[in-house]
Amino acid sequence: MDTSTSAALRGDASHRPAILHRWPSAVGLTAAVLVLATGPDRQTLSITVCAATLCYLGAAALARPWVAWAAVPGFSLVIIASRVLGLPWWAVAGIAALILVVVGLVGRVSYPALTAQAVAVAGFGGLAVAALLIAPSFGLVLAGLVLASHGIWDAVHYRRNAVVPRSLAEACMLLDVPLGLGFIVLAALR
């Protein structure tokens, strides 16, 4: 058996198709395309922004990067809880953020990382919720800008390989930027 065949049988990464190396990009871009196909909706963009920031905050609060991936479906529970409680989703997301900050403080995790993520939740999340309170067309543009700018946050974390796994930062970047900019374009076409 030659070396290329034995390498392929061992599963060497160098012999895998390129798309397998970029699976987070494929996941993020596919999600962006699917959401864009549903049409412009500032509520969806705002929820996406808040979900992204809570994923990062959860990972920082527990000092466990993998928690960010677990928080992706976990944020669905926040939305369900808000409906069960009869509260706006953003209020329950805010409560979840406060709980995560307290957990991080009690757990004595890295305060700079926890603080940065808490500020990000307040900043990105606050603007995302504000987008729901202003005129729909302006709100859609604001939510799109906030989501696209979160892509910069993703890029910083990807480059530093900090707080969240690189795979999550990569997927989030390729969700946030195309989706945010795509909705801005759709708002302009309205």
- Indicate the DSSP class of residue 161: T
| pLDDT of amino acid 13 | 55
CA nearest neighbour of 152 among 172, 137, 166: 172
The answer to whether residues 78 and 71 touch, using CB atoms and an 8 Å cutoff, is: no
Does 176 fall in a domain? yes
The total number of structural domains in the chain stands at 1
The pLDDT value recorded for residue 6 is 46
pLDDT at residue number 12: 54
Answer yes or no: is 19 within a domain: no
What is the per-residue pLDDT for 130?
97
List b or e across 113-126, with b for residues whose CB sees 16 or more CB atoms inside 10 angstroms. Answer: bbebbbebbeebbe
The residue range of the domain holding 180 is 43-189
CB of 52 closer than 8 Å to CB of 150: yes
Whether 2 is in a domain gets the answer no
- Within-domain flag for 17: no
Query: Does residue 106 lie in a domain region?
Result: yes
pLDDT at 81: 87
190 residues of the chain, pLDDT tens digit each: 454 444 444 555 566 676 677 899 999 999 999 999 998 789 999 999 999 999 999 999 999 999 999 999 998 888 888 989 999 999 999 999 999 999 999 999 999 999 999 999 999 999 999 999 999 999 999 999 999 999 999 999 999 999 999 999 999 999 999 999 999 999 888 7
Q: Is residue 14 assigned to a domain?
A: no
| Inside any domain, residue 16 | no
Tokens coding 116: 């940065």
Cα separation, 83 vs 51, in Å, equals 16
- Report yes or no on 15 lying in a domain: no
Separation CA 169–CA 58 (nearest Å):
14
State the pTM of this model: 0.87
The reported pLDDT for the residue numbered 41 is 86
